[in-house]
Amino acid sequence: IFIDNGVFKCYRGDPILTSRTKVILPDISTTNSSYVRTGDLCRYNKDGDIVYAGREDFRVKIYGQLVEPEVIEQIVLKTTDLVKACIVRKEQMQEVNNEYLSCHLLVTSDVDSQDLIHQIEVYCRQHLPSFMVPVAWQIHIFKDASLLLAVVTSTSAVPISSSPLNPGQAWIVWLDQQMFTTQPSAQLTQTNISLPLIIQNGSVSIKRLRQALQRVIHKHAILHTSFHLNTHTNKWFQRIEPLTEDNEGFAFVISEGVENYDEISRLITGEFSIQGLFDTERGQLVRLHVVRRTKTPLINEDLLQVNDIIIFSIRHEAIDGSSVGIFLSDLAQSYDTGKLMVDSNAISYLDYTIYQSGIDRSASIAYWETYFDGIGPSAIRAMSRIPSDRSWSLNPYKITMPIPIIFHLDNNITSAMIKCARENNVTIANLCLSCHYAFLIQLTDEWDHAVDCNVVKRPLEPEAANIVGPFVDYIACRVALNEKTNPTFCTLLEKTHNTMMEAFDHLFVEEDPLSKDLTEMLNVDRQCSDFQFDEMLQDVTLDNNARLQLLLNPSDGMPAAIWWRLATDTHFGAYVIYDSKIEKLSYAFVFSTATYEQSTAIRYATQFQAMLERIFGEKTRPIDHQIKPLSFWLKQATTTFN
């Protein structure tokens, strides 16, 4: 098949390829105009119709790019003598409407499959464009290479990333493993994202909800992915597990007669913290827990009614807070329409991790290596050594419990904080983090602090905007001020904002020099402080009938069991929730029973409120934040509290 002129002029800088593709057909054209050779073959049938008959080459199109599988095969065979033959082909995953390249390898003896695949994939990335690197690998052991083609045509390879996980994922997996092997309170540690939703009005069909959830899991392959540790390289790998009749992609549980709120709270706490709820080896990372508030016989057992509760629990390795809105939006669309639209040009989280692994991180590595500017481990540990009632090493409890102190800022304080953030062109999250630093300075009289923060960096590419996955990373954000220069609150705010923005630009470093070593230094005596910021989840509407709302504690109006957002072995942490719908800021201070008495926790929380009232009170003018030294606000706040 040839296409008439007007397609394109030439391949820039490649006259040989141009001469192969653009040809003159003297028997057809009366001029010297050229035609484009498509490579597609066709024939006339007996009725005179043109019938497609294949291609003259083996090129395939992936993500809009033409790929020649034989080029990839030649690169693979150059990697190692262990591979005797290979076949690269285009695969199609119908359930997620996704195309990808698979590579089938022939070996004649047993090999370490993960090591071999990792070696080949690294070599391919060095010699091929990223879109030509296969994402699925399968090893076949045969004595006869001629058998490989027959086997490949009857099987398909499931995508597997044989490179290390996205560093954010690997970080979460590593933390989970550390918690469950070193901490006696492991069963109380948050390992899951849990979304308890209460039905405010209307009704919800359980059957339709399960079908809708399955379509969402089909769309987002990360939600049916298993994680495996290569003990030889000590690297984590992920593999998309196929969804079958025996594995619908999620666990389903029904509880009935749960009327007491304490029982509901215990259920939610378990969903947040218990690892055994999931079958991670099969890639089952999602759990749907339906809670009926009554055991009264129902006319229609398929329907959930007002005040019934739906709990979605998802392993933290597969999702983070920034992806929750996408997950719920897709769920609502799937429930309403009975189908879920999938953009064939959209990339998956697995694609994104492969793309991330190919980025040059030398600048980021250099940034983190100089982050603490030569400060030794003992000095780093002392950065956030907040006064406590006892040392962690003298913990009298076998199981550490959190002491949550929850409070809401009044409208005037919240409005003043939001106004301050806008006037200084910073985010509300960074403003709240600056207040956290100010409080640490007040408590310790030290002006150099490192705080463990969670930071979300989603891809900016439009085709990746709706990816579900864990884009959260954890950094030790260090802010150092010189007390002798009399820094103002605006100085602290600017320093915090700039530090976070710089760190943000260097997230996802594959070989992060901070990672485990720095965390160990900061947490060795559990003296570090944690800070997290989130936006309140908005209501979800299903089928214009049922409205679901995030379940709130009746006592404090905060999301249920919110203190489980912070690990229960945290020395001291602050979790801030911003409800953008009504412009409301709420705080959950979490203290560990291992180091604090409840009376001290209450005193610190009260002191923090007094500091905020001083900095953002009605008598404070915006100009005061720029001209009055920070020590003025901290001293006055302490005096007010006393």
pLDDT tens digits for 176-224? 554 433 443 333 345 678 888 899 889 999 999 999 999 999 888 888 8
Please give the Cα distance from 571 to 402 (Å, whole number): 9
Structure tokens at 196: 């308890």
Cβ–Cβ < 8 Å for 572, 590: yes
Which residues lie closer than 8 Å to 183 by C-beta, 6 or more apart?
189, 569
Structural domain contains residue 608? no
| Positions in the chain short of pLDDT 50 | 95-97, 160-164, 171, 174-175, 178-189, 397-398, 509-516, 521-526, 563-564, 566-568, 640-642
Is 229 part of a structural domain of the chain? yes
CATH number at residue 93: 3.30.300.30
CA distance 332 to 324: 12
Give CA–CA dist 8/505, Å, rounded: 39
Residues 265 and 194 both lie in one domain: yes
Task: Give, rounded to a whole angstrom, the gap between the first and last alpha carbons of the chain.
Answer: 87
Element (H, E) at 278: none
Residue 307 and residue 322: Cα distance in Å, rounded? Answer: 27
CATH code, domain with 202: 3.30.559.10
DSSP string, 169-212: HHHHHHHHHHHHHH-TTGGGS--EEEEEEEEEES-EEHHHHHHH
Is the same domain home to 142 and 287? no
The residues, any chain, with a CB within 8 Å of residue 102's CB and separated by 6 or more, are 88, 89, 90, 91, 134, 135, 136, 137, 138, 156, 157, 159
Q: What is the pLDDT of residue 209?
A: 94
Do 231 and 141 sit in the same domain of this protein? no
> Would you tell me how many other CB atoms lie within 10 Å of the CB of residue 170?
22
Query: In angstroms, rounded to a whole number, what is the distance separating the alpha carbons of residues 434 and 549?
Result: 31
Name the CA dihedral angle for 371, 374, 377, 380, rounded to a multiple of 10 degrees: -50
Q: Within its chain, how far is the Cα of 641 from the centroid?
A: 40
Residue 9 lies in a domain: yes
Q: Please give the helix or strand (H or E) that residue 330 lies within, else none.
A: helix 321-337
Inter-residue contact 530 to 452 (CB < 8 Å): yes
Backbone angles phi, psi at 166, to 5 degrees: -50, 135
CB 547 within 8 A of CB 199: yes
- 257 and 184 share a domain? yes
Identify residue 47 by its one-letter amino acid code. Answer: D
In a domain, residue 295? The reply is yes
Q: What pLDDT score does 164 carry?
A: 45
Residue 268 belongs to some domain of the structure: yes
Are residues 7 and 36 in contact, defined by beta-carbon separation less than 8 angstroms? yes
Distance CA 561, CA 575 (A): 12
How large is the greatest C-alpha to C-alpha distance in the chain, in angstroms? Answer: 99
Q: Domain end: 55, 71, 100, which one?
A: 55
The parent domain of residue 70 ranges over 60-161
Beta bridge partners of 408: 586
> pTM value?
0.67
Please check whether residue 469 is in contact with residue 318, taking contact to mean a CB–CB distance below 8 angstroms: yes
CB neighbour list of residue 204: distance below 8 Å, 6 or more residues apart: 303, 304, 308, 310, 542, 546, 548
Task: Note the pLDDT tens digit of each residue in 237-276.
Answer: 677 777 776 777 888 988 888 877 777 777 777 676 565 6
Q: Residue 133's pLDDT is what?
A: 86
Same-domain status, 47 and 84 = no
Provide the token pair at 87: 């076949």
Q: What is the DSSP string of 364-379?
A: HHHHHHTTTTT--HHH
CA dihedral 243, 245, 251, 252 (to 10 degrees): 140
CA distance 314 to 220: 13
The amino acid that residue 316 corresponds to is: H
Whether residue 51 is found in the same domain as residue 27:
yes
Report which of 494, 459, 200, 259 is spatially closest to residue 353, judged by C-alpha positions: 459
Residue that has been written with the tokens 């006037």 in this structure: 423
CA distance 174 to 516: 9
Domain identity same for 203 and 326: yes
- Dihedral sign for Cα atoms in the order 367, 369, 373, 375: positive
Write the secondary structure of 90-159 as one string of H (helix), E (strand) and C (coil).
EEEECCCCEEEEEEEEEECCCCCHHHHHHHHHHHHHHHCCHHHCCCEEEEEECCCCCHHHHHHHHCCCCE
Residues in the chain: 642
**Is 107 a domain residue?**
yes
Q: State which amino acid sits at residue 508.
A: F
| Structural domains counted in the chain | 3
Q: Tell the residue number behind the tokens 């008495």, with chain if given.
A: 597
Q: Is residue 26 part of a domain?
A: yes
In the DSSP assignment, the letter for residue 455 is: E
Is 517 among the domain residues? no
72 and 148, same structural domain? yes
Residue where a domain stops, chosen among 122, 139, 161? 161
Same-domain pairing of 104 and 222: no
Are 311 and 206 found together in one domain?
Answer: yes
278 and 155 share one domain: no
d(CA 147, CA 84): 12
Q: Which residues contact 104 (CB under 8 A, 6 or more apart)?
A: 86, 87, 88, 89, 137, 138, 139, 140, 148, 151, 152, 155, 157
8 Å CB contact between 114 and 101? no
Q: Which ranges of 9-84 would DSSP assign to H, the alpha helix?
A: 15-21, 69-79
State how far the alpha carbon of 412 is from the alpha carbons of 36, 242, 417, 585, 607, in Å. Answer: 69, 53, 9, 11, 18
Q: Is 169 exposed, middle or buried (0-12, 13-18, 19+ CB in 10 A)?
A: buried
Of 273, 304, 337, the domain-final residue: 337
Same domain, 51 and 77: no
As a whole number of angstroms, the distance between CA 112 and CA 235 comes to 14
CA-atom Rg of the chain in angstroms: 29
Q: What is the pLDDT of residue 64?
A: 64
- CB atoms closer than 10 angstroms to residue 113: 16
